[in-house]
Amino acid sequence: MTGGAEIVSIAGQRPLDLGIILAYLIGITWFGARFGSTQKTLKDYFLGGRSAPWWAIGFSIVSAETSTLTIIGTPALAFGGNLGFLQVVLGYLIARIVISSLFLPHYFRGDLYTAYELMQRRFGSRIRKLTAGTFLILRALAEGVRVFAISIVISIILGTGEVASILLIVCLTLFYTFEGGMTAVIWTDVVQMFLYIGGAVLSFYVILSQIPGGWAHVSTAAGALGKFQVFDFRFEATAEFFTRPYSFWAGIIGGAFLTTASHGTEQLMVQRLLAARTQGESRAALFASWAVIFFQFSLFLMIGTMLFVYYGDTGLAPPRPADRLYPAFIWNHLPHGIAGLVIAAVLAAAMSNLSAALNSLASTTIMDFYKPLVRGARPESYFLRLARLATLFWGAALFLIGLIARHWGSVLEAGLSIASILYGGLLGVFLLGLLTRRVGETAAMIGMAAGQLLMIYVKFQTSIAWTWYVLLGTSVTLLIGYAASLLWPAGRGRPGAEGAESHA
């Protein structure tokens, strides 16, 4: 792997690439900050005033669903395996059907700002705080991994070291998110999505041009080794069935449960769905985003397959760890100018996801924790000022978590497994609220706690693949929560009783 001193030397000899990257960082920060003058209310700051068109929200969903983890981690999966990850992406489509039919009607019944207000409406204030607090922990940990992933890219370019790299990108993203709120997040997401997908398409053709024989050779060499295999229908009645993350069953079921949880219960995604003008536009954005996601993952997996052929043909040693594979190839092998453009595209994905996380963490902090405690009327300007302060707080928190995340292993699977541990309990308690009438707040909290405890055990004491985590956590939460309702049923006079009657 290229040493730090050599990287600095390379960086110093590539003013065109560095100029493109610098121009992007300055330009996107300026563009996002321009929306600051439109932020007058909490609805503006957290929901973009519900004025964004559905197609922009759809692209914003893609950007929030994508991160540097996707861009540097997905090619690494194909490099070391095959196209089996697409089975998980097919599960994403099933999840969108469930969300559009089950969750969206409830979210558009009333004037909601966060997903967890629905839990108070159905159960009570305690479970609203429990689910909101779970989200804050989940998103902070998962985003910490993503923040660290950004430093991999920047350190390859500048040799600045991980700490300085993390600090640079967090500060720039924090600036325009602090100023422009959700409006800045959505419209910078649109710009950044086109940039990083365009950069990936460009790098696809450049990598292909450097392989003698072109696509015909890639197809022959990779096909002979099974690198184009997508589906794995093996169904063993053994423990191995639950340890393979990318079988058809784990992919479809795991992907469906993972995305139902992330897009249906996590504020990062629900906030975008709530920002649509109508329920119909929210549904259109949700399904349009899947088509782009499928194309995107297919593209990055094919890039990983081509890199496998390239390194196999040349006999060069690929960078280690595998997460450095794609960004290192871009910087060291793509022509000047193109390399800078593609690296800027990678940073675009990083910044769009980070800005979304900052705004969603701030919205949950203010709307689910602080505002319910305030007694008496306060002007919108008061809460808007606090929302911006909360954004600053979470920027500092994610910087610190990003430093710790340097020791958590493969960035893509680390991010997905961390999220999957907590998603099961969240999805389970939402389903208890939407599908049952007899389960009250106490029983739901017991079920959620049982689901979370099980997943901590599964993560650290078993070899079960992360694709099964959400299914397991959800199932246990549903079963224990419903069983507990036999002792603590929902009823009139108890928290959540009215919600159970009117919203189940």
Residue range 310-331, pLDDT digits in tens: 988 888 888 777 777 888 888 7
| Residue 443 backbone phi and psi in degrees, to 5 | -65, -40
Return the domain boundaries, the chain.
4-410
Contact 169, 354 (CB under 8 A): yes
Q: What topology does CATH give the domain 4-410? A: Sodium/glucose cotransporter (1.20.1730)
Q: Tell me the CA distances in angstroms from 46 to 35, 167, 441, one per residue in order.
A: 13, 25, 27
pLDDT band at 26 (very low <50, low <70, confident <90, very high): confident
| pLDDT tens per residue, range 240-273 | 677 777 778 888 998 899 899 989 998 888 988 9
Residues 6+ away with beta carbon under 8 Å from 408: 145, 148, 414, 418
The pLDDT assigned to 74 comes to 87
Q: What is the pTM of this model?
A: 0.81
Q: What is the CA radius of gyration of the chain?
A: 23
pLDDT over 70 at 504, yes or no:
no
In this structure, the dihedral spanned by the alpha carbons of residues 280, 183, 272 and 131, taken in order and rounded to 10 degrees, is: -140
Q: Give the mean pLDDT of 104-121.
A: 89
Is 160 or 383 the better-scoring residue by pLDDT? Answer: 383
Specify the amino acid at residue 8: V
Q: How many Å apart are CA 168 and CA 166, to the nearest integer?
A: 6
Q: How many Å apart are CA 108 and CA 29, to the nearest integer?
A: 32
Share of the chain above pLDDT 70, in %: 88
pLDDT over 50 at 40, yes or no:
yes
